[in-house]
Every structure is written in C-alpha cells, then in structure tokens.
Amino acid sequence: MSDNDLLCVEDLRFAYDGERTPVVDGVSLRLGRGEVLAILGPNGAGKTTLLYILLGILKAQSGQIWLDGRELSACPRNEISRVVGLVPQSEHVAFEYSVEEYVLMGRAPHLGMLELPTQDDDRLAVEALDQLGLMALRHRSMLELSGGERQMVVLARALAQQARLLLMDEPLAHLDLSNKGRILAVIRRLSEAGVAVVFTTHEPDMVQGVAHRLLLMREGQVVASGRTEAVLTSEALSQTYGVPIRVIDVEGVSLVRLEAML
C-alpha cells in the first residue's frame, strides 16, 4: 500500500453466522485522502455489509483492512471512531432530543466515558449544523423533522465527529431532487477538504462528477472497480444488475438508461 492510502482493503470475505454463502466475497479496494468512492449494486449485493466491515462493526472471516496505515482489527473502538464516521440509511430516533443535542453526540469519540461535552464540542456541533444550512432546525425536536431533514441532521452528526473517512449508506434514498443535490454538494465539499467518502447508492446517474472511483458489486463479488469514467459502462452495469443497461454519452455526461425504456 502507498502512504497516501487512507483505507486499504485486501480480499475481504464475510458470511453471516451459520450461513455458507459469503455476503462479501473477495473485495479489495483502496482509497486516498479526499477521494470519493461510490458503490453500486443490486439489493442484497453486500454493500451495507461491506460498510459495516469497514467500520469494524462486523468482523470479516478473512482478508485485511488497513486504516491510515494501521490494521483495523488492532485499533481500539474509540480510535476507529475518530477516523471513520457513519451515516446510516435510516435512523430511528426514540426520544425528543433537540437537533443540537443530537448532533453533539457526534463528539463522543473525542470524549472519555465519563466526560461531558465541552464548549468546544458545542461549537463544533453548531458549526456542523451551520455548514449544512441547518441552523434554523437547531432547537427543534428530532421527532418533528421530515425524513429529509433528519437525514441531513444525521450527516451533521457525522461532520461534528470530524472523521477523515465518511461511510454513507444510501444517502440519496428517499430524498427529493433538491435534497439529493445538497447531499452530493456536501460530499464534494468534504472531498475538497480532504475527507474521503464511501457511499452506496441505487442511482448510477448520480455518481458522475462526485465519485472519483466506482465499485460495482453483485452477490458479494466485485464486478468492476476503478475510475468512475472507466467503470460506468453499458457492459459493466448490465452485468452488475443482470438486465440490459445502456450508458449514453451526451456531451461528456453519461446517462444511464435501462434498455427496456429506450
């Protein structure tokens, strides 16, 4: 691995307890600082499982993960959490936390078990809200937010975490076009600020211009992996999804369409 790699993954294999077929099967990837990787694949391809392995929530049966030059399995939980943040696909909120208090929880990896957040932590939480244009929600209850607002607040929580690698599980799902645009713009800004992002999505049309790299998965295995322009092809997508798909080039923009719709 090169020194520039923030994340380096070799030949991961993972199967759930008692299951024979692996959910992640021989996945390798590397990611530098500020790089954005999009993962595409049909439902059940193992995308979310892969994210949870990268986060250390699930332990791969074989393969290796280096995070910032250290083996992931050797890192204490708190240290992983200072480097890697997660924006889960949907987050159930059980109690009436205010948006600000909720975002403040993102500071937990930087605090000891018995510590309370300091004024600096408060400031970082507010900055994260400000960065996403969410200051108007600051004192609102988490239970009153719409789905899109809640997704943005969970993202703010991850920003307050100051992670250098952000894992986002289907950040575009259930969002209208304007919210999708905001999320993609945030990913771009993070990348420019040196934060690496891995996100999964079901929308091949949304990755160009945001993701530097693309990983196509099917049944736990890598179908294609590399620079987005090189991977976003009719052949690779058709093979990934098992239906005929055509990538149409319109003035340098790749439009992804199902053959059946053309």
Partner 1 sequence: MGRRAGLAFLLAGLLVIAGISLFIGRYPAPYWTPPSLLGSDELARRLVLSLRLPRLLTAIMMGSSLAAAGLIFQMVFRNPLVEPGLLGVSQGAAFGAALSILALQASPLMTEFSAAVFALLGLSLSFLLARRLRYGGWVLRLILAGIAVSALFGAGVGMLKYAADPLSELPEITFWLLGGLWGVTWQEALFLLPPVGLSLILAWALRWRMNLLTLSDESAISLGSRLGRERSLVLIGAVVAVAAVTAVGGIVGWVGLIIPHVARRLFGANATYALPAAILTGGIFVLVCDTAARALLGGEIPLGVLTSFLGALGFALLMMHTGLRLRP
Binding region for partner 1 (CB under 8 A): 52, 55-57, 77-78, 80-82, 84-86, 88, 91-98, 100-101, 105-106, 108-109, 111, 113-117, 139, 154, 161
Query: What is the smallest separation between the CB atom of 94 and partner 1, expressed in angstroms?
Result: 4
Handedness of CA 114, 118, 120, 122 (dihedral sign): positive
Q: Measured from the CB atom, is 154 or 256 closer to partner 1? A: 154
Structure tokens at 149: 């607002």
| String of DSSP letters for 49-106 | HHHHHHTTSS--SEEEEEETTEEGGGS-HHHHHHHEEEE-S-----S--BHHHHHHGG
Query: What is the smallest separation between the CB atom of 139 and partner 1, expressed in angstroms?
Result: 7
Query: What is the smallest separation between the CB atom of 99 and partner 1, expressed in angstroms?
Result: 11
Query: What is the smallest separation between the CB atom of 107 and partner 1, expressed in angstroms?
Result: 9
Query: What is the smallest separation between the CB atom of 18 and partner 1, expressed in angstroms?
Result: 10
Q: Measured from the CB atom, is 198 or 231 closer to partner 1? A: 198
User: CA-to-CA distance for 182 and 150, rounded, in angstroms?
Assistant: 14
Q: Measured from the CB atom, is 158 or 223 closer to partner 1? A: 158
3-state secondary structure of 252: coil
Handedness of CA 2, 31, 235, 219 (dihedral sign): positive
Q: Measured from the CB atom, is 52 or 66 closer to partner 1? A: 52
User: CA-to-CA distance for 120 and 70, rounded, in angstroms?
Assistant: 29
Q: Measured from the CB atom, is 68 or 238 closer to partner 1? A: 68
